[in-house]
Amino acid sequence: MAFIEISKENYQHNIEYLAEKAGGKDKLMVVLKDNAYGHDLEIMAKLACGFGIKKSAVKTLKEAKKINFLFEEVLILADHPTRKLQTDSISYAVHSLEGLRKFPKKSCVHVNVDSGMHRNGISEDELKDAFIVILKNGLNLKGIFTHFRSADQLSSEQYWQNENFNKIKKQAKKLILKYNLPMPKFHSCNSSSLLRREEPLEDDFARCGISTYGYTHIHESFGEFDLKPVMSLWAQKLSTRNLNRGERVGYGGVYELLKNDMVSTYDIGYGDGFFRHDGQNELILEGKNVCGRVSMDSMCFLGDAKKVCLFKDAYYLAKKFNTITYDIIVKLSPYIKKVVV
């Protein structure tokens, strides 16, 4: 069976590193959405809790319910409630004024404000109306947040969006005082925006996903960051054969042996969420040559090793296939066994 090794030590290292950057563990929300970016929601939630993290974010209510006992607060980023939850430790992100109106009375909400990404969030002009809805429906306003679109790029956009958020913050604070509401938490940074910051974090906390798992795609001019990949992916041998020079391996026979050699088949494929390499170009993973196309449930390598490592650092594959590490790790099937080491 293919398996994923989770390095507890590396995860702790990243969390400590990011917490220091954010100004303490209380200022770090770990993002565990999408099965903790493929690492396993429950395993990572328990580890994060053990390291002293008190806040996490997920995508759905189903995910939140699995881990909410471990945290003071779990923020649901993309789901719609049908009724008020029994607990105040789960909050919902609200992405539009229209959505806010539909929230069950007394729900805990974090209002997303659009500071320039134009993907989600209420606009500055709608802020007043949002507060009217909050008051009318007795919503528990726990947070006001935004998301940056260019945090990993070298441009002035980050400053522009940050300024926009500061303006919205000011306006929101005025309204909060006016309506005598408890002060909500303000948050904006994801991994890249926290990492690139030179000044201490002004917000109440940062929401970090990819960096906790050991990666960043931030422009290199921002420097080097001491992050360690948490996941490594392994597959086990199904069979071995001796083939002659000129024989061809796998679908389409795209891989031709240049000399007599041993070829083995391993139990991982694109059905398990591994990247479907088409065999056209050479691919060497952790020192071993991939032979031909990746099949749905298996793939071939030169040699006869009992197990092979597909990656210890997903950056290599991401770069090779012109994508980002998120894309490589998050798609791995939740059914792949996890081993915490």
Ligand X SMILES: *Cc1c(COP(=O)(O)O)cnc(C)c1O
CB of 188 to ligand X, least distance (A): 9
User: Does residue number 61 form part of the binding site for ligand X (CB under 6 A)?
Assistant: no
Residues 89-108 that bind ligand X (CB under 6 A): none
Least distance (Å) from ligand X to the CB of residue 147? Answer: 5
31 touches ligand X (CB under 6 A): yes
Among 207, 232, 249, 300, binds ligand X (CB under 6 A): 207
Q: Which positions are annotated as active-site residues?
A: 33, 251
- Nearest approach, Cβ of residue 207 and ligand X (Å): 4
Contact assessment for residue 233 and residue 271, using Cβ atoms and an 8 Å cutoff:
no
DSSP sequence for 196-210: H--SPP-SSBEEESG
208 lines the binding site for ligand X (CB under 6 A): yes
- The answer to the question of residue 229 lying near ligand X (CB under 6 A) is no
| Least distance to ligand X, CB of residue 49, Å | 19
Say which amino acid occupies 75. L
**Smallest distance, Å, CB 67 to ligand X?**
16
How many residues bind ligand X (CB under 6 A)? The answer is 12
For 157-170, letters b (16+ CB in 10 Å) and e give ebeebbebbeebbe
Contact window for ligand X (CB under 6 A) among 176-184, 201-209, 226-234, 235-243: 201-209
Q: Does 15 bind ligand X (CB under 6 A)?
A: no
H/E stretch holding 285: strand 284-285
Stretch that binds ligand X, among 161-169, 186-194, 224-232, 251-259 (CB under 6 A): 186-194
What is the token pair recorded at 204? 């109440």
Considering the complex, state which of residue 211 and residue 264 has its C-beta at the smaller distance from ligand X.
211
Strands 3-6 and 28-31 turn out to be unpaired
100 and 109 in contact (C-beta within 8 Å)? yes
Q: Does 210 bind ligand X (CB under 6 A)?
A: yes
Among the listed residues 56, 115, 190, 264, the single contact to ligand X using CB under 6 A: 190
CB of 213 to ligand X, least distance (A): 8
Closest CB to ligand X among residues 80, 248:
80
Residue in this structure with the two tokens 């940056």, named with its chain if needed = 148
Binding to ligand X in span 138-167, by CB under 6 A: 147
> Rounded distance, CA 290 to CA 308, Å?
10
C-alpha to C-alpha distance for 58 and 67, rounded to whole angstroms: 9
- Paired tokens of 112: 């997303």
SS (H, E, C) 214-272: CCCCCCHHHCCCCCCCCEEEEEEEEEEEEECCCCEECHHHCEECCCCEEEEEECCCHHH
CB atoms within 10 A of CB 139: 23
Residues 65-94 binding ligand X (CB under 6 A) are 77
Which residue lies nearer to ligand X by CB, 227 or 308? 227
Select the residue whose beta carbon is closest to ligand X and give its number.
209
Binding interface with ligand X (CB under 6 A): 31, 33, 77, 147, 190-192, 207-211
